[in-house]
Amino acid sequence: PPNDTDLRRLDSDPFEWNWQGGSPESTLKYGICTRFHTGDRKCKTSWNNYVPRYTWAIIWGGLLWDVREALGADLADAIAFEAMSAARGDSETLSRAAGRLVEADLALNNGENRGRIESMAAERGVAVQTRVEASTGAPPFAVDVFPTPVASGSVSIVVRPDKPIGTLTVDILDLLGRRVAAYREPVNGLHPVTFSWPAASALPGLYFVRISGGASSTMRPVTVVR
């Protein structure tokens, strides 16, 4: 685009610019950034030869833009600045950085936007890791969600605990972070627990299954098609 001082957008395609749990596509050969040059006071778009950190930055920047579009500039900026104030620079992972957004929202808004932030992060392939999850490691359970995509019938969510985890909570979230279904089940043993979500009654689109228990949580995507 021509050089000017207009704000450049970072609304990249989340299915293309996707973290994929730490293994983004090698086809993402370029990173793009907008820099303000003080000499001619113009914003210039710069394309960089592929270096992993550029790809990571575009994916993270895309997630922040998603949050800004969904929550509005004022709220998103406040959450981002609060999260940045607690960041640890080079030691951060994308999962932990996304977790800091959730923690910032908890501090500023009593966690009102957690579901939406987690949904947007999951759409970018980033699993949110909060402070508690970072200190306790991987969730104490394995999860299988099937079938996906689903056109009719129900989606099965099978949770296999590695240790007693007390109450297990499963939330089904839409892309806006709205809870469309919720399930709770006490888990005292190590036997598998199965939940069934009647996806046939849901509108087509991308949903996220959030499984929480034992002070940990994880998310899995589900696509409903017709």
Determine the Cα–Cα distance for residues 93 and 105; give it in Å rounded to an integer: 19
66: exposed, middle or buried (C-beta count within 10 Å: 0-12, 13-18, 19+)?
Answer: buried
pLDDT in tens, the chain (226 residues): 444 444 556 778 888 888 877 778 877 755 455 666 677 777 666 555 456 777 788 889 999 999 999 999 899 999 999 888 877 665 578 888 998 999 899 889 888 898 889 888 888 888 887 775 555 556 778 888 888 888 889 999 998 888 778 888 999 988 777 889 999 988 877 888 999 999 988 999 888 888 888 777 788 888 898 8
Domain shared by 74 and 162, yes or no: no
Last residue of a domain, one of 79, 114, 132: 132
Which tokens hold the place of 82?
């609060």
Tokens 């000499």 correspond to 39
Tokens 């080079």 correspond to 90
Domain shared by 44 and 115, yes or no: yes
Domain shared by 71 and 108, yes or no: yes
> Torsion angle of alpha carbons 197, 199, 203, 206, nearest 10°?
80
Check: CB of residue 132 under 8 Å from CB of residue 107. no
pLDDT of res. 34: 63
Q: Residue 6: inside a domain, yes or no?
A: no
Domain shared by 166 and 189, yes or no: yes
Domain shared by 28 and 109, yes or no: yes
| pTM for the structure as a whole | 0.57
Determine the structural domain holding residue 147 and report its residue range.
138-224
CA-only gyration radius of the chain, Å: 19
Q: Which residues contact 13 (CB under 8 A, 6 or more apart)?
A: none
pLDDT of res. 80: 92
Domain shared by 110 and 167, yes or no: no
Tokens 């036997």 correspond to 191
pLDDT of res. 45: 63
Q: Which residues contact 10 (CB under 8 A, 6 or more apart)?
A: 58, 61, 62, 64, 65
pLDDT of res. 22: 78
pLDDT of res. 5: 46
Last residue of a domain, one of 106, 132, 158: 132
Check: CB of residue 197 under 8 Å from CB of residue 173. no
Check: CB of residue 183 under 8 Å from CB of residue 223. no
pLDDT of res. 16: 84
